[in-house]
Homo-oligomer: A and B are copies of this chain.
Amino acid sequence: MFESAELGHKVSKEQYKKDSPRLRQELLTKQFELINGKSFSVLILIAGIEGAGKGETVNLLNEWLDPRHIQTHGFLMPRPDELERPGMSRYWEALPAKGKIGVFLGNWYTEPITRRVLGEISKVELDRAVTDIVRLERMLAAEDVLLVKFWFHLSKAQQKRRLQALERDPDRRGWVKKQDWEAFRLYDRFRAVAQHALRLTDRGEAPWTVVEGADAEYRNLTVANTLLAALADRLARKERAETCVPDTTPPLPRPVDDRNVLTSLDYGRKLPRSRYDREKDRWQARLRALTLKPKFARRSVVLVFEGFDAAGKGGGIRRVTQAVDARIYKVVPIQAPTDEEAARPYLWRFWRHLPRRGRITIFDRSWYGRVMVERIEGFCSERDWMRAYSEINDFEHQLVEHGVVVVKFFLAITKDEQLRRFREREQTPFKRFKITAEDWRNRKKWTRYGHAVCDMVDRTSTDAAPWTLVEANDKLFARVKVLRTVCEAIERAL
């Protein structure tokens, strides 16, 4: 992939002076369409060889475009605190909002390529990292992020000349460090590893542009032309790039009998109050003890609470939080997204709340809203929620790979029990706020919610992050099952 970028491309200063004003103008026009339309965001990935013009390109973009709508993020190799959360967290947090341009200098390619060059990971591990990147980029493209990926290249001879020239310059001699010459000695290996990674990640929804970096004029015009073409194309289409084939087949047809994961639950399960008090006490003490173990400080925990309205999510959560030092957990109630959240891929608002080591994040409702309420209420298209199953599996897989203990609860009650609780809520003054017209509306869609739950469990109950269905007609039974499941999951992990 680098052959065309080792030909000694060059553009004369005169040509550059002639071409650049028009290019700048066109780029700005397109940027304003982007800003005003706010229908997608642009993410420019800048990668490549040292000294090939990466930093200069960042300056070019900020000079030629309206810099108030560009945000550049520089990523170095992860620091200790960044290692406390799943590797992609810092990139996720930096994703641009719709209408904005984000520039990632250093990005998700840097670490796997560098580590492979240094021999820290195997070829197979590199390929796996690359596969994850492909899935991530496909998802971003489907979530209205226009990906523009630049790889800046220098031939081996050019790189050598560059380092030597710097060393001859008295003002710049100090810029060349020992590690620059060490990197040069690894040139061939770096080129081969990069070529491999680029080939596997050069895809329709996120193609690479390899830019020869030696001649500034050539480089600048190439970057500007590429970005302009990508912007113009996307703006003309008005719709996002859909990947040709959906990630997942349509939800399973309903079983022809009435058996499913919900109807098979034994809703008669009960715990008498006296046994409840004893068991609750026992599991809470155990949970507390687990969180005090030194090993716990090296793990983190994500609890997901989903369930039918009035199934007792809040009560279940509180029995967990009662047992844990309030300084190590955070409860995140999921509501309507803020404008910062709505302007980004739907998983962004969950990434920003992931726990660091030794901490617990409890999601009161979660990313499963995508395949539940958003599906049923038509807040997203069928294609959107259909691809969400595999996107969610990828997301949870990353958590688990990072050592996060993921426990997902669905609290299930019967339709009659829900009615009883709704009425009780209406009659108890301090519970009245928990019951709204929307709850009654949702209740009318009981069957459709049930189908969505079954699809969700079938498609996202994985080895890594299985669902726990909780028979919640009896609150006492449900709370103890929640506590026990949390304890057992943490125990297995420690």
Taking Cβ atoms with an 8 Å cutoff, the residues of A that contact B are 21, 24-25, 28, 32, 54-56, 58-59, 62-64, 66-69, 71-76, 79-81, 105-106, 171-172, 174-175, 177, 281-282, 285, 288-289, 292, 314, 317-318, 321-322, 325-331, 333, 335, 338-340, 364, 429-430, 433
Contacts and interface: CB of A to CB of B under 8 A. Distances in A.
* Copies of this protein, total: 2
B433 A55 contact: no
B67 A364 contact: yes
Nearest to A282: B171
12 contacts: A54-B326, A55-B326, A58-B321, A59-B322, A62-B321, A67-B314, A68-B335, A80-B80, A80-B81, A81-B81, A105-B326, A340-B340
A431 to B, nearest CB: 9
Contacts of A333: 67-69
B285 A76 contact: no
Nearest to A334: B68
User: Which 4 pairs, one residue from A and one from B, show the smallest C-beta to C-beta distance?
Assistant: A74-B327, A81-B81, A24-B430, A68-B333
A10 to B, nearest CB: 22
A66 B433 contact: yes
Contacts of A56: 322
Nearest to A175: B288
Given A32-B433, A67-B314, A318-B63, A72 B326 contact: yes
Given A79-B81, A338-B340, A331 B67 contact: yes
Contacts of A81: 79-81
Given A62-B321, A79-B81, A340-B340, A326 B28 contact: no
A144 to B, nearest CB: 18
B327 A75 contact: yes
A175 B285 CA distance: 9
A140 B74 CA distance: 33
B329 A429 contact: no
A55 B28 CA distance: 54
B74 A330 contact: yes
Residue from the set A174, A335, A340, A433 with the largest chain B CB neighbour count within 10 Å: A433
Residue from the set A80, A318, A327 with the largest chain B CB neighbour count within 10 Å: A327
Contacts of A74: 325-330
Given A281-B171, A318-B59, A430 B289 contact: no
A184 B319 CA distance: 29
A330 B105 CA distance: 11
A462 B169 CA distance: 39
A276 to B, nearest CB: 16
Nearest to A68: B333
Contacts of A25: 429-430
Contact of A318 (B62, B73, B330, B340): B62
A71 B338 CA distance: 15
B429 A292 contact: no
Given A28-B433, A314-B67, A330 B73 contact: yes
A63 B281 CA distance: 19
Contacts of A71: 330-331
A75 B356 CA distance: 13
Nearest to A32: B433
Contacts of A288: 172, 175
A69 B331 CA distance: 11
Given A340-B339, A340-B340, A68 B326 contact: no
B430 A64 contact: yes
A198 B334 CA distance: 36
Given A59-B321, A68-B364, A74-B325, 17 more contacts: A24-B429, A25-B430, A28-B433, A56-B322, A58-B321, A58-B326, A59-B322, A59-B326, A67-B317, A69-B333, A74-B327, A74-B328, A80-B80, A80-B81, A171-B285, A174-B292, A338-B339
Nearest to A322: B59
A329 B66 CA distance: 18
Contact of A62 (B63, B73, B331): B331
A66 B81 CA distance: 33
B80 A289 contact: no
B21 A430 contact: yes
Contacts of A281: 171
B72 A331 contact: yes
